[in-house]
Amino acid sequence: MAITIVDNNERIISWNKYTEGLLNMNEKELFMRPVESLYPPDEWKKIRAENVRQKGMKYRLETKLVRKYQGFFDAELSLCVLKDNTENIVGSIGIIKDITKLKKTEKKLKESEEKFRRFYENAPVPYHTLSPYGFITDVNEKWCQILGYSKKEAIGKTIFDFIVEEERESAKLSFKDKISSKKFYVEGHERKFLTKASEERTFMINDFLSYDESNNVNSIYTIIEDITGCKKTEKEYHEKLEILNEKLEKKVQERTAEIKQLLEQKDEFINQLGHDLKTPLTPLVSLLPILEKTEGDPKSKEILEVLVRNVNYIKNLVIKTIELARLNKDSTVFDLKDLNLWEEADNAVQDQKYRWDEKGLKVKNKINENIFVKADKLQLDELFYNLINNAVKYTTYGGNITIDAHSDGDFVTVSIMDSGIGINDEQIKYVFNEFYKADHSRHDFSSVGLGLSICKRIVEKHRGKIWVESPGIGKGSTFYFTLKMSKNRGLINNQ
Ligand code: ADP
């Protein structure tokens, strides 16, 4: 702080060191210097006038002072007259403060405030400013345009006065939350406002909160985006979409019914065809082997052998086709019982013992003997039979077949793993399709390509799933299916 003392003739008679630095003058230059020379002429006039007005009282003002070689700088001056014992004025004392930096900051602040005001006022979107109690302290031109109120009408009211009645209470609650959120920005939310012309408009509200030094909200700046148009379009769009969905749903239902009917017709046709073929096949299947046995001529015997094989193939095909058609029917119901899984698998293994023995296969049934499932006995037997039959068929001499199961909650997953010829990823997609044979070179007369389709229907009718996994050709395959665990017996502990 610079301190200078001036005599009655307004000449500097005393000062401190700081004054020399501030004014960039030495002792010689300062002593007895007319104080007037330190001010720009206008400022000096101002000071004189103020001196007269204050009548010797203490006062403070902002002015400009000279700094040698450097022009004028902004200064704050505190002045006080000095009196002697007899109350005569003998001079004055001045305290000078350099406020250049302060002035610069003030200027910048003013500029940015001005910029903000201009932006706020002319922004193409509606704005309002609220006090922490929800009172409107400012609105911009666009706000007035959209809501139809003048600034005068809006300022001083609460924002809730402009919100539709049914949303007013919830708006008050969310406002309170906003104030206590300590957030700077509260994400957009929708609110319905009422214009002066009583028109309802939907706005997207975006709040920016400003805080004072004690971290209390002092203002809320809100941008409101009129989305009434979008809302209307959105509503219309939804209505249209709903109508379209209804139409589509109806069409899908019609098509599904048509497809269902066609599938039923197909099943009925296959069923009929199967039964019609079965009748003339019966004498062929029973008589041809007798003829083959009694035939003495080797050439004719050979022909008869081929006939027997083909007739058996047709019989097999007919039986499986009829079975599949039966399973496809909605009316086919299963007789669900609590069955011991190990036992059912073992029956199928033993039934085919002669076949796997012949191929030198090792078959292991590792199923826990205490697992019970809810299933139709005949269908479960057929399922195991088909899958084990395939495992035997597609596993080469000396291979392994392992049957296992594990339960997870309500379901049991059964696996039939073989070390056979395996299936590639492409074939895996189709193996459960009707009449699909992965590779024709694999097939003999017992393969008609319906076994897995039948298995799939059986499992699905039990509300389970069936699938196959294989590491690739030559690396074996594992078929899995799930069945519901028996509720009464489930997995019985050994104790
Ligand atoms: P198929 O009567 O021909 O055995 P399936 O419906 O039972 O008819 O099987 C369809 C095809 O899936 C078979 O032709 C075979 O190529 C393939 N497949 C089925 N089981 C196995 C298996 N365990 N290992 C390798 N391929 C198999």
Instruction: From the CA of 422, give the closest atom in ligand 1.
Output: 25
Distance CA 168, CA 145 (A): 22
Least confident of 50-54, 66-70, 114-118, 330-334: 50-54
State the burial class of residue 77 (Cβ atoms within 10 Å of its Cβ: 0-12, 13-18, 19+): buried
Distance CA 140, CA 123 (A): 8
- HSE-CB at 254 with a 13 A cutoff on CA atoms is 6
pLDDT of amino acid 166? 94
Task: Evaluate if residue 56 carries a pLDDT over 90.
Answer: no
Any atom of ligand 1 within 6 Å of the Cβ of 313: no
| pLDDT per residue as tens digits for the range 448-485 | 889 999 999 999 999 999 999 999 999 999 999 999 99
Any atom of ligand 1 within 6 Å of the Cβ of 439: yes
Mean pLDDT of 232-254: 91
pLDDT of amino acid 175? 92
| pLDDT per residue as tens digits for the range 358-379 | 999 999 999 999 999 999 999 9
Instruction: From the CA of 437, give the closest atom in ligand 1.
Output: 14
Task: Evaluate if residue 493 carries a pLDDT over 50.
Answer: no
pLDDT of amino acid 430? 92
Task: Evaluate if residue 491 carries a pLDDT over 70.
Answer: no
pLDDT of amino acid 290? 92
Task: Evaluate if residue 54 carries a pLDDT over 60.
Answer: yes
Mean pLDDT of 289-315: 90
Among 316, 390, 396, 439, residue to substitute to test ligand 1 (most atoms within 8 Å of Cβ)? 390
State the burial class of residue 363 (Cβ atoms within 10 Å of its Cβ: 0-12, 13-18, 19+): buried
Distance CA 481, CA 411 (A): 10
Percent of the residues in the chain that have a pLDDT greater than 70, as a whole number: 96
Q: Are 330 and 339 in contact (CB under 8 A)?
A: no
Closest residue CA from atom 14 of ligand 1 = 437
| pLDDT per residue as tens digits for the range 106-153 | 889 888 888 887 887 887 889 999 999 999 999 999 999 999 999 999
- Say how far residue 74 (Cα) sits from the centre of its chain: 59
pTM: 0.54
Q: Are 226 and 203 in contact (CB under 8 A)?
A: yes
Task: Evaluate if residue 55 carries a pLDDT over 80.
Answer: no
Any atom of ligand 1 within 6 Å of the Cβ of 46: no
| pLDDT per residue as tens digits for the range 192-201 | 999 999 999 9
| pLDDT per residue as tens digits for the range 405-452 | 998 888 999 999 999 999 999 999 999 998 888 765 555 666 788 999
Mean pLDDT of 388-397: 94
Residue 39: what are its φ and ψ, rounded to 5°?
Answer: -110, 150
- Mean pLDDT of all residues belonging to the chain: 89
